[in-house]
Amino acid sequence: MCQDLKALQAEDPQIYNAIRAEEKRQFEAIRLIPSENYASQAVLEASGSVLTNKYSEGYAGKRYYEGQEHIDEVENLAVERAKELFGADHANVQPYSGSPANAAAYYALLEKGDTIMGLHLLEGGHLTHGWKYNMSARFYNSVPYHVDKETEMLDYDQVMEAAKEHKPNLIVCGYTAYPRIVDFAKFREIADEVGAYLLADISHINGLIVGGVHPNPVPYADVVTSTSHKAIRGPRGGFILSKAEHAQAIDKAIIPGLQGGPHNHTTAGIAVAFKEAMQPEFKEYAQQVVKNAKHLADKLMERGFVLVTGGTDNHLMVINTAKSHDIPGKVVSEALNKAGIVSNYNMVPFDERSPMDPSGVRIGTPAVTTRGFKEAEMEKIAEWMERVIKDPHNEESLKTIHAEVLELCSGFPCPGIEG
């Protein structure tokens, strides 16, 4: 293993053993959860640094504590790199993650009770885009828009009709389980038609945008929110991009609005990840993520799997296993896990099953692409998935596939983890 954890091993062997076991699991599994990835050794080192010892409420040059000269340097680097990567007027790198980033955007732009309109959770949206049990629906009037029932894709005419009907103060685009390109220019037209703010949540596609394989919403959206992990391969945190006119409101929403001191060690990890994303090889990585996803989708469909929207344009796909094989997603996800292939069970559009026992499985290619998997490995994954779903309760078969998975994984290193 790459990290020297001798002090932890001596102080708390239980935590040490859990971490080592997780390292082993991450190395030995094909990780297809589209929101997961591998952070580099440099990102891990920055995230685990002595910066965790420092309190830094406020912003660079305007702190409430002394001794900030080095912290200011780190945060300024993260901010400037974010602005350069995405072409943004303003960046805030202090959100603790993507959900707090969305909460801050709402806090900055809206008043309590204002109307927000986001894609329905069960059709690919996120909890924080207005789901009825989330704060985004408790403190704001939430109305959803939907994908088309036939194509399972966004129908921008239908979104326009919904916007004219409900007249939202803010429209959310950018999703957690939508496998197609988002037309941000069209969303800008819709927002302008009804006088709404436009918020783009790029948590899933941040790395694809940097790599040039997905359109950038920054020219169109008032505010862009994101996690700092997933496809961009940083630590678990968040950031917000905005037009200059919203900069002050965004910063005030973070502090004093919603948060206290930033997590400086995370900010350092974010800065490192942004620098890595500026390198030419990152663009090659992002392009391969999409190539792998498209190839895997094609091979799965050739084997009889039914994919939501009939394929993918980005890094992820949602498989309707109930429709293709008459097996619920949870059963398939659990069987895949036993075979060493990690996914998550997921709702499909207009699903009649419950969220804890849905019809689908969600998979993606960012993590396996980081390891160096290409089209040939995607074909092997499709073959294994077919074998699993044909006999998901055959423990011996699952063990055999797991052994084959382990053999393949042994030939592909993981950043931050040694085999």
The reply to whether 232 and 86 lie within a common domain is yes
The reply to whether 270 and 369 lie within a common domain is no
- Whether the per-residue pLDDT at 419 is higher than 90: the answer is no
Cβ atoms < 10 Å from Cβ of 88: 23
CA 203/CA 367 separation, integer angstroms: 15
The reply to whether 234 and 293 lie within a common domain is no
The reply to whether 91 and 216 lie within a common domain is yes
Cβ contacts of 415 within 8 Å, gap of 6 or more:
38, 39, 40, 41, 233, 370
The reply to whether 322 and 260 lie within a common domain is no
Taking Cα atoms as reference points, which of 361, 382, 375 lies closest to residue 304? 382
Residue bearing tokens 């400086």: 264
Q: Model confidence over 403-417: pLDDT tens digits?
A: 999 999 999 999 988
Domain assignment present for residue 143? The answer is yes
| Listed residues 247, 277, 307: the one ending a domain | 277
Q: Model confidence over 155-201: pLDDT tens digits?
A: 999 999 999 999 999 999 999 999 999 999 999 999 999 999 999 99
| Listed residues 231, 250, 277: the one ending a domain | 277
Concerning whether 57 is annotated as a catalytic residue, the answer is yes
- Whether the per-residue pLDDT at 82 is higher than 70: the answer is yes
The reply to whether 51 and 170 lie within a common domain is yes
> Residue 230 carries which DSSP code?
G
The reply to whether 58 and 135 lie within a common domain is yes
Cβ atoms < 10 Å from Cβ of 376: 8
Predicted local distance difference test score (pLDDT) of residue 4: 83
Collapse the DSSP code of 22 into the 3-class scheme (helix H, G, I; strand E, B; otherwise coil) and give the result.
Answer: helix
Catalytic, out of 63, 83, 186, 236 = 236
Predicted local distance difference test score (pLDDT) of residue 387: 98
Structural domain boundaries, residue 357: 287-409
The reply to whether 264 and 291 lie within a common domain is no
Concerning whether 55 is annotated as a catalytic residue, the answer is yes
The sign of the CA dihedral 327, 331, 337, 340 is: negative
CATH number, domain containing residue 350: 3.90.1150.10
Concerning whether 404 is annotated as a catalytic residue, the answer is no
Domain assignment present for residue 26? The answer is no
- Whether the per-residue pLDDT at 2 is higher than 90: the answer is no
Q: Model confidence over 15-38: pLDDT tens digits?
A: 999 999 999 999 999 999 999 999
Q: Model confidence over 369-403: pLDDT tens digits?
A: 999 999 999 999 999 999 999 999 999 999 999 99
The reply to whether 103 and 249 lie within a common domain is yes
Domain assignment present for residue 223? The answer is yes
Concerning whether 123 is annotated as a catalytic residue, the answer is no
**HEC assignment per residue over 242-303:** ECHHHHHHHHHHHHHHHCCCCCHHHHHHHHHHHHHHCCHHHHHHHHHHHHHHHHHHHHHHHC
Domain count along the chain: 2
Confidence of residue 1 (pLDDT cuts 50, 70, 90): low
Taking Cα atoms as reference points, which of 65, 46, 74 lies closest to residue 255? 65
- Whether the per-residue pLDDT at 3 is higher than 80: the answer is no
| Listed residues 277, 302, 327: the one ending a domain | 277
Q: Model confidence over 324-368: pLDDT tens digits?
A: 999 999 999 999 999 999 999 999 999 999 999 999 999 999 999
Predicted local distance difference test score (pLDDT) of residue 17: 97
Concerning whether 236 is annotated as a catalytic residue, the answer is yes
- Whether the per-residue pLDDT at 69 is higher than 60: the answer is yes
Catalytic, out of 227, 309, 321, 365 = 227
Catalytic, out of 23, 123, 201, 251 = 201
Concerning whether 188 is annotated as a catalytic residue, the answer is no
Catalytic, out of 180, 188, 230, 299 = 230
State the average pLDDT for the chain.
97
Catalytic, out of 28, 45, 57, 148 = 57
Token digits of residue 126? 């996120």
The reply to whether 131 and 71 lie within a common domain is yes
The reply to whether 258 and 148 lie within a common domain is yes
Domain assignment present for residue 317? The answer is yes
Catalytic, out of 45, 54, 55, 323 = 55
Q: Rounded mean pLDDT of 228-251?
A: 97
Confidence of residue 299 (pLDDT cuts 50, 70, 90): very high
Q: Model confidence over 118-155: pLDDT tens digits?
A: 999 999 999 999 999 999 999 999 999 999 999 999 99
Q: Model confidence over 104-121: pLDDT tens digits?
A: 999 999 999 999 999 999
The rounded percent of the chain whose pLDDT value lies above 70 is 99
3-state helix vs strand vs coil in the chain, percent to 5 = 50, 15, 35
CATH number, domain containing residue 202: 3.40.640.10
Predicted local distance difference test score (pLDDT) of residue 418: 67
How much is the pTM? 0.96
CA 240/CA 230 separation, integer angstroms: 15
